[in-house]
Structure 1
Amino acid sequence: MEDEIDIRKYIETILEHWRWLIGIPLIAALLGLGLSYILPLQYEATSLIAIAPPRLNVQLETRLQTPSEEFQPSSRMLIDLAKSDELVAQLFDQLSPLPDGIENRADLSSMLNVETGNDPSIVRLRVRSPDPKFAARVANLWASLFVNQVNRVFEASNAVLQQLEQQLVSARDALDVTDKALIAFQARNQIGNLEAQLSSYRQQQEQYFTDQRFMNATIQNIDALYRQLSRQPNDQPASLVDELSVVFLQIKAFEAQANAPIQLQVSSGGTISSKRISDLLDTLEGMRESLDVKRLETEQRLVEIEPSILSLQAQLQESYTELDRLTRERDLAKETFTALNRKVEELRITIQSEEEFATARIASKALVPEKTVVSRFLIIMATGITSLLSTIAFLTIIEWQKNGSVRFSHNTC
């Protein structure tokens, strides 16, 4: 049969030593009371810092972005920044005089504590010290330094503005260089003259092509009329129609206008000059030879004018290309200068408004604490209850050792 745990034995043992249950907690409470008078009590002062993105966000130029725009620091980042060595050193240097017990930055850092909730918009800076006035002074000074540090790190700074202003000066110089280069090109710009010369040559070329087509057509008409007249006897008198055909071809051959005021008065059935067919054929042969010579001259002129046209086209294209390149360089320099100028103005407005629309602000200053963090009553209660529980546990262990190894039973007494 298994051994049973008799709870009554333990209760009786504890009640038998009731003097211990009263005496030991009482002594511990008295010791706690004495210790509370020996050790200095701590006062805690708290200052609140509000973190928020800038309410004023000037966007004059969207193509250039500064790293501080639309940025919200995290809780871990704010805690590390508040307890950074640089900030603690600044706080230590500005605290004068220092109270007893604060000899270096490590001693001061042990007094500081930073807390943030799930929302990093509120940061609590807590300072504990035996001197309540010193705790409040440190908390407020720490809050002021912390706010300046946050705004310096996360807001647009003068260093960024100076860098952009230097780039703006370089952009202005580049724009001046491109403007001068474009002005120098316009001073020697021959595009107008080249276009006029090319237009003149092209008009000549077009006229030569027109003359060439006209002469080819006239030669074809002469050949056709020559074949037609060749079918008749050479000594036969020429008819009025044949003579008129030759006359009109002569007019075309000599570039007479179609509306030339030519009036022929002939009697029906007669002739103009009483020429024979052979005379008309000789006339047509002479006309054809003259047109052949003129056609060859026209073809030669077309060959001679072509290199001049090609050379002018090449010179004109070179001028167009150079003008386009200089214009593009000037436009690019102008766009760069305009974008940087807008960004500089945007940053100046942002920096001027930082004091009013800062990322970090002191939401609440620390007041001089009136109560300690832990009161003497709590110390007495804590030491008394702790010693009472320890005494009960001690008596229980002693009773258990007397009875030896005990196993729990499933049956109740």
Structure 2
Amino acid sequence: MEEEIDLKPYILALLRSWYVIILAGVLVGLGSGLVRFLTSSPQYEARQSLWIVGSISEDQMAALEALATDLAIEQQVAELLREQNALPVNYELGMLTGQIKVAINGNNMQIIVTTNTQTDAERLAALWTKQVVMLVTELYIKDQPAIAITEQQLAEARARYQQAQANLESFLASDALIVGNQEVRRLNDLIESARSVPFARLNEYLARQNEIELILRDARLLRDRLTTEQGNNIADATAALLLRIRNLSTRGNQPILQLDSSVVTSAEVSVEDLNRLITSLEREYQSVSNRIDQLRAETDVSTLQDLITQLTAVQVRVEQLNARQRDLVNERDQAYAQLVSLQQRLKDLKAIAPSSSLRPISDNPIAYRISRLRPTILSTAIGGLAGIVLTAAVIIAREALITARRGTVLQPKPTGD
């Protein structure tokens, strides 16, 4: 049988600490409201009312609302603000549209602008309203067939998009970029090989030169000892020297130390043998030194420079191909965006009655500062609720911990054997 949880201690704990819960909620709510009030920047709102001449349906309302926030209007307004040196420094397309709201109630259409300053709100509302009226007038009041013109523009935009897509697909099908990247990797491998092989061979000859130099030194010392000591106590040194010479002569492919076989295999060595050995070592040492000088000269060969020049040229060509691909993609995307915009424009044109027009109700909009009281009250309420919930949770957790400890203390200890 499952053990039932007794909620009575927790309810009593909450009732005993009701004033703590309320106090915490008040303090947290006031703190969050104060932070919201101090950190929020002032906002100004300007409204411009327009009267829609003629009857209008719900579909026509939606079409007018879409036209009033069209990016074409923002582009015109941005140019006017730039001429007045009032365009924001960090301006991006869509920034001004985000500050615009359109509300239609019957035949009354309101353009609502919200900015950080009163002057900006009034200026933006006036310019935006003017451009909306001009756009609607251009599309629906003039004698030009707006729908036919838009359909023609749509056909041209569709053709541009199809051509841009075909150009991009043709470029990708040519595999020029793939071939260029493969050539870059191939030249890099060749350059790496051209740099590593001579140095590896040079290190091999340097090591052999060092070994010959050490053997040559020991041979001269042995000759001096043989001359002064008349062969006494030098048998071990002679055997060790001959073993080192034999190992050096038989190790590797090139260079191989060329020594007289009688010198290498002789059990007893005379001064004349050592002289011949030293002469042979010196000759071999000079040969290895000449080869080292030759390898050092070959590390800076013209072939390596040619490979580097080819790699640079191929990298430039690959970068040009990447730039070409980016241009083709941007061209395709811009053509598609224009195609979608014209499709929406044509849909709006067909939805609105040709006789619709707009007339401003007021001349100049006036901006008013938006009260920060409502967001402050909302932040205070949310903060207070959060404070109450968190404080209640802490009290319940504390009561659960006390109950668990009390149960542990009252539990009898098991008796031993």
Q: Which TM-score band (shorter chain)?
A: 0.3 to 0.5
Higher helix share: 2
TM-score, normalised to structure 1, is 0.43
TM-score, normalised to structure 2, is 0.42
